[in-house]
Amino acid sequence: MVRALMLCLMLTCLSACKPQPKEAFEATDITGADFASGLHLTDHHGKPASLQDFKGKVVVLFFGYTHCPDVCPTTMSDMAQTMKLLGKDADQVQVLFVTLDPARDTPDVLANYVPYFDPRFIGLYGTEAEIAGTAHHFKISATKQPPDARGNYSIDHSAGTYVYDKQGKIRLYFNYGASPAMMAHDLRLLM
């Protein structure tokens, strides 16, 4: 009986020594993807910007446009809420908004729109050709719709968000509608 109790105690102790499994991401893990690796645009302050500039931070990258009626402001609002949930850890995150509408999203427009959600957020733009090339490299679908009688138009586009770790490697893809709590959870795992 004593021997059986000792054996149970020893097995319990040994099972406690096993490494615990790592906490899993809730987003789609795209670690090692062979696309979305480079970005060379201009930030809303007029300075050149690349993903390399943000090494040491977790980077959250979203493509959209400022005249977007729903998806873009919702995503940006969700990211702002995510930053609030992260508290002081939010300073380890850089949110980048890449315009898909360089004709209307001038640096001034981006400078008013993007930091409205959080002063740390940065808007990126480029020429039509630079934006088209960047979108293609990131596998972003974007189709400009025919303008209405007043010249207004919308852009149908991919609505997910890419996330890079602090070493600049692509790691996650947040689907549109990911909750701020879920995003904060996954961003913390990358910190």
Binding residues for Cu cation: 68, 72, 157
What are all long-range contacts of 68-75, with beta carbons under 8 Å and residues at least 24 apart? 68/154, 68/155, 69/154, 71/157, 71/159, 71/176, 75/159, 75/161, 75/176
Q: What angle do CA 159, 141, 94 make, to 5 degrees?
A: 45
Residues marked as binding?
Answer: 68, 72, 157
